[in-house]
Structure formats: C-alpha cells, structure tokens
Amino acid sequence: MARKKKSDVEKAADHVMRERSREGSPFNAFLETIMAHRKVLVPVVLIVSVALTVAVALLLSRPADPEQTAQGEGAQGTEISETSMTVSQDPAINELINRYYAARAAGDLETLESIIDGLTQSRRLYHQELSRYVESFTVEEIYLKQGPVENSYIAYIVEQYKFYDHPQTVPSMESLYIRMSEDGSYYIYDGELDDETNRYIRMSSLSDDVVDLNNKINAEYNEMMLADVTLDELISAVHKSVNDTVAEALAAEQNALAGENSTEEEKPEGDIYLRAREVINIRAEASTESEAIGTTVTGTAYRVLSQDGEWSCIEYNGGQAYVFTEYFDEITEAEARESMASAIDTGTHVMNTSCNIREDSTTDSEIVGFADEGHEVEVLEVLDNGWSRIRYGQVEGFVMTEFIGE
C-alpha cells in the first residue's frame, strides 16, 4: 500500500509534535490504549491510546448510564480467576487475532466488522485512517486468561507495528475480550459491559503477571523513544493527524444527519457550562449506542460547544464528546471557574480520568507525559483557568482540573 506523500505543512507539524503514548494499546486507543498499572508510570504509545480498540482501559471505563442499562451477559458474581496467563494454544483464537491485525493494517473494514461485535463508527473511521500510516502489525505472542463467562477469554497480545515512514518496528501490548458465538466460532467483543464483567476484566488485568508483562513492553518502548527522537516525533504526529481526521469526519456526519431544516439552538453570548449532577457515560457520538469514552464527575463543570435536542456536545480531554443534557445544571463561566478552582486543593489526589500531561496550561502545548485514571498525583498548584500543575512520578506538568478527583 502506497504511503500518502506529506505536504510541507504536515512535515512542519511532524517536526514540532512531541508526545508520548501508551494505552497498553499502542493502537487501541491511540489514544487515550495499554495502561499504566500500579507499579510504574506507564506511557505505552499515544498512538495506541485511540488505536488499540478493545484495550483494557477502554473496556473498563464503561459504568452504566442512568439513561441506559448496560448490556452484556454479566459475570453473575463469578469469582475473579487467579490462574496465570498461558500462551494461547488454541488455533481458532490465534487465527482470529492474526486476522484482526492483518485487517487493521490493510484498513479492511469488512473483515473487522465480521469479527468484532460492537464496532462503532468512530472506531471504523479510526482503523481506516490509521492504515494510511501503519504498514504492518506483527503478532509475537498471545496470552490468555479465562474470561468472566463460559467460553470467553481475555487475550493479551504482544506485537510490533511499523510505519511506512520509519524502518524500525515499535513494541506494543493490547488487550482484547474474546467470546464464543452459538456456532462455536470466536469473535472480539467491543460493546457495552455490565459492572460485574467490567470488574472481572479489570481485576484480571491488574494481576502481577499481566502488570509485569505490560511493564516489560513499556520499558522497551521508552528505551526506543529515548534512542530515536525521529520515531517519537512520528508517533506524535500520526496520533494527532488520525484523531483530527476522525473528529472532523464524525462532525461532518453529525451535521449531515442534522439536515438542512434542523434548527439548532442559538448559542448565547459567552461560553456556557454544564455542571454534572450524576455520574453518567460521556460518549463519542450523540447516541446511547455510541462508544463510552469516559464518565462524568459529580459537581464538575464542562464547557458546552453546542447543543442539539437532548444532547450537549462538550469539550472533553482536548477534543469533543456528548452527554445527556438532563443530568446537568447550566451555570455561568464564572461559576464554572469557581467550581473548578474550589473542587480540589493542593496535595495528593486520584485521577478520575486518564489524560495527557502538558508542558503548559493549554491544549496546544507539548505533551510531556500521561496520567492514568485511578492513579495518585500530587497537585502542586490549582490555577484559575481550569488547569492544575501536578507531579506524576518523575513527570511534572499541567492537566485540566476536571480530570482530578477530590
């Protein structure tokens, strides 16, 4: 597959972009995917944050909405498996995972849709766009743990990915939830999960053997980034390009669905904010069927970008996302700033959302690290512009105050 030639503007962007990634998914969440656990600061590939689709971090951030009961068969009180990871000896599972990576490299949406249950439009666009930059994925090892229900598994895949723009391959680790259909064939599940299933997968992925494997891959990745600045810059530039393209495509589709005759509410002068009354899912699109990319924090204020019917488009983690308006109170900008400033104080806090750590208190500044949901950070200063200066391990920088728990 021929790589698209970059313009001078894109080359300039490559030069200035420096970020890191992790997501125990260098490619399942490109973003936001695999995850830094309790032992060390984990930054596995930003391009993995959004990229590796069913990364554990993605699967586990889906508590039920007040507006919709989460779907899934449920673990029904099943005890967390204490068995160790084992190398997969199942030819059917191995074949499924290799098909998954081959389809991702080729941007083969037809194959991905045939083997993934719950593939959202944002993920379709992501896989398609990412394939323009990634030449290949090479599966090195597949480990399995028993899943929460019969004939289900949590697969931990160690793989290498390679860009068209760089000769060296990059180590990555991804987690996939695999289930068996009625005809006995396996498929990857990326849909909504109930609380018990989420808990089971989370606890299994925090076991020592999984954490040790993840840390090993992280160490290899970090060493490679330190030794190859060009590759580090390439990963940052690809991450930004893919996410920007997906966001623009989703916005265009949303506008098209609105139709020429839709009457969007006129936005009042000045920014408006919503303050969360309850904990609900934050979604990638204005639909209860859309992927849940995070959850609200009670009392936290979110800036509104637009509103249409029962949905509000809010500023979230440097991009945009959607929430049900009825679970919020509308407040002024002054109230929002006061709320952000008074919600926490300096000292030790726990992150309520995974996010980038930036060099300055703006989404345009350079990314210097990544803070994971559930991990402790030291708040050094709470600014009145909605940002806080924190220390996370050896990294010091800025995050939006709304991402820090009390």
CB atoms within 10 A of CB 90: 14
Taking the model in full, what pTM does it have?
0.49
On average, the pLDDT of the chain sits at: 77
What is the percent of the chain where pLDDT is above 70?
A: 74
pLDDT for residue 364: 81
Cα angle for residues 28, 31, 32 (degrees, 5° grid): 105
158 neighbors 199 (Cβ within 8 angstroms): no
Each residue's pLDDT tens digit, 261-271: 444 444 445 67
Alpha helices in 17-117 (DSSP H): 47-51, 56-59, 91-106, 109-115
Residues 263-331: name the CATH superfamily.
SH3 Domains (2.30.30.40)
pLDDT for residue 153: 95
Q: Pairing mode, if any, of strands 292-295 and 281-283?
A: antiparallel
Fold for the domain defined by 18-245: Nuclear Transport Factor 2; Chain: A, (3.10.450)
* Residues carrying CATH 2.30.30.40, the chain: 263-331, 343-403
Question: For 366, which DSSP code?
Answer: P
Residue 175 bridge partners (DSSP): 156
Beta strands in 284-346 (DSSP E): 292-295, 301-308, 311-316, 319-324, 328-331
* Higher local confidence (pLDDT), 56 or 227: 227
Each residue's pLDDT tens digit, 256-300: 776 654 444 444 456 788 888 888 899 999 988 888 888 887 777
Each residue's pLDDT tens digit, 33-45: 333 333 333 333 3
Each residue's pLDDT tens digit, 105-144: 999 999 999 999 988 888 889 899 999 999 999 999 999 9
pLDDT above 80: residue 305: yes
314 neighbors 300 (Cβ within 8 angstroms): no
Sequence-separated (6 or more) residues with CB below 8 Å from residue 67: 280, 288, 324, 327
**Rounded-to-integer distance, Cα 41 and Cα 177, Å:** 24
27 neighbors 48 (Cβ within 8 angstroms): yes
pLDDT above 90: residue 25: no
Q: Tokens for 172? A: 């990555």
- Name the strands in the sheet holding 387-392, side by side, starting at the edge strand that comes first in the sequence: 347-350, 376-382, 387-392, 395-400, 355-358, 367-371
130 neighbors 51 (Cβ within 8 angstroms): yes
Sequence-separated (6 or more) residues with CB below 8 Å from residue 343: 299, 300, 401, 402, 404, 406
Each residue's pLDDT tens digit, 311-332: 999 988 767 899 999 999 888 8
Position 80 confidence tier, pLDDT thresholds 50, 70, 90? low
Fold for the domain defined by 343-403: SH3 type barrels. (2.30.30)
Each residue's pLDDT tens digit, 359-386: 998 888 889 988 888 888 898 988 766 7
Q: Pairing mode, if any, of strands 86-87 and 134-146?
A: antiparallel
pLDDT for residue 397: 94
Position 301 confidence tier, pLDDT thresholds 50, 70, 90? confident
Question: For 38, which DSSP code?
Answer: S
Average pLDDT over residues 91-95: 96
CA pseudo-torsion sign 367, 368, 373, 379: negative
Each residue's pLDDT tens digit, 145-204: 999 999 999 999 999 999 998 899 999 999 999 999 999 999 999 888 888 888 898 888
* Residues carrying CATH 3.10.450.50, the chain: 18-245
**Rounded-to-integer distance, Cα 64 and Cα 62, Å:** 6
